[in-house]
Amino acid sequence: MDLTLFDFLILSFLLYSIAPTAIIRFGHFGALSRAPRGGGKIALTFDDGPDPHYTPQILEILSRYQVKACFFVIGRQVWAYPELVRQIIKAGHEIGNHGFSHRIAWFLTPLASAREIVDTNRAIEDLTGYKIRYCRPAWGLFNLITVTYCRLKGLKVVLWTYMSWDWIQRATPESIAGKVLNRIHDGAILVFHDGDCTPGAARGAPARVVAALPKILEGVREKGLRVVPLADITPEKKCRGFFKNGFIRIWGRLERIIRLVSGIRAPGGNKSAFFRIALRTYRGKDWPLPGGVFLKKGDQYLELHVNNEWLASLIAGDTSTERMALIVVRESRRGLPDLARIIRLDPRYKNVKALFAITLLHRGTERLGFTAYDTQGLMRPLATLYEKWLLGLYHPGGFRKLKSYRDKLVPKYIIMTRPELFSRYLPDEPAPR
């Protein structure tokens, strides 16, 4: 099944933007949106500042009630009002990353997505030396790059338990306090705004937060709850395995949908096979391959994928990336004869000229009959990010383990021609011309 341009764009948007947001916002995996109950603790967070008019007023109220909060600041505001950032830190509050210009991650390129986080971190650290631990993307929306970058850099993504809707035009100090105090509970993370410079925010909205905040803090005390820094409610590392396993389960279901839409199938209907395949039509320039084979526009090739769930079960407990590559080579050697037989016998594949894949784990594939080629253009950074995402997700050592392999993890095209496949794995059949 060939993908039209529209199908490809929809699938790319689903994978790049909608899927990460759905998994994190609605699946509650990979982000802190509530604290464990039982400690009588809640956390206050403020977005969109610092603001020269509202932030000092909020800091004064917090000081009066002797509570600490986390301010998720916008990078451009940090450069505009550096003394306010220093004042926040001096008062003992936490600082989080809220992006440099508060742009929606869904519509940002990979480079722009990374820059939103990098430039804000750099602005804060250059001005104050403060090391950023927390990140909250604008609007609480994600894409594949923001999720991956935060994981690779060890940034904890923080959302909220519920909103006070303090930023809308019709909000009042009474409605804000009422929404919070009627729903407040042990472990809640509250979000307010100390700036009104972002799209969608009602001008002067933080003034209502200033007016409502004393009543909220008094109500919190009356309910026997304590306001604590985010550091006091961040789950211990032992919880990470639970969240990661749940995340993998959700991602596995999403992958099945993506494969269905994009025509990626189990070869011969064998769902336990190591490979997944998709019949594609080549659209590029003439590509000379080994053995005098040319891949030309309009030719068919077979796109090769690994069964990630099976791979995850094979590498469980082994944190060596070299070992993972060896496992892929071993299982590929076992699976290629069956795949060659299917290509030989199934009339749907009679015109397939080559097997094609993009992978980070390409070392050793030449022994299987593949030839490796460098990726080029936009495909190189996109393939690198996506493959690292999958490898970090399924790798027992997680994303942090990949740092030691950063220079080695370079994606390659690997290609095997039809004659090479048959001569290696079906030696009794003469290679077709």
Predicted local distance difference test score (pLDDT) of residue 234: 74
Going by pLDDT thresholds of 50, 70 and 90, the confidence category of residue 429 is: low
Residue 382: what pLDDT?
Answer: 54
CATH superfamily of 33-234: Glycoside hydrolase/deacetylase (3.20.20.370)
Predicted confidence band of residue 242 (pLDDT cuts 50, 70, 90): very low
Question: Pick the catalytic residue: 47, 48, 119, 196?
Answer: 47
The reported pLDDT for the residue numbered 75 is 95
* Least confident window among 73-82, 95-104, 259-268, 390-399: 390-399
Q: Mean pLDDT over residues 190-202, rounded?
A: 91
Average pLDDT of the residues of the chain: 84
**Known catalytic residue at 193:** yes
Pairing of strands 412-417, 293-295: unpaired
Average pLDDT over residues 7-27: 80
Higher per-residue confidence, 34 vs 328: 34
Average pLDDT over residues 307-314: 65
* Domain residue spans of the chain: 33-234, 264-425
Least confident of 44-53, 75-84, 243-252, 351-360: 243-252
Q: Which of 102, 193, 305, 395 is catalytic?
A: 193
Q: β-strands 189-193, 162-163: how paired?
A: parallel
47-51, 211-215, 229-233, range with the lowest pLDDT: 229-233
pLDDT in tens, 75-111: 999 999 999 999 999 999 999 999 999 999 999 998 9
Task: Note the pTM of the prediction, 2 decimals.
Answer: 0.60
Asked if the model's pLDDT at residue 221 lies above 80, the reply is yes
CATH of domain 264-425: 3.40.630
Give the length of the chain.
433
Q: What is the pLDDT of residues 19-61, one digit of tens each?
A: 888 888 877 777 899 887 778 999 999 999 999 999 999 999 9
The larger pLDDT score, comparing residue 57 to residue 4, is at: 57
Catalytic residue status for 51: no
Higher pLDDT, residue 95 or 239: 95
How far are the Cα atoms of 85, 145, 164 from residue 21, in angstroms, in the given order?
Answer: 29, 11, 21
pLDDT interval class at 430 (50, 70, 90): low
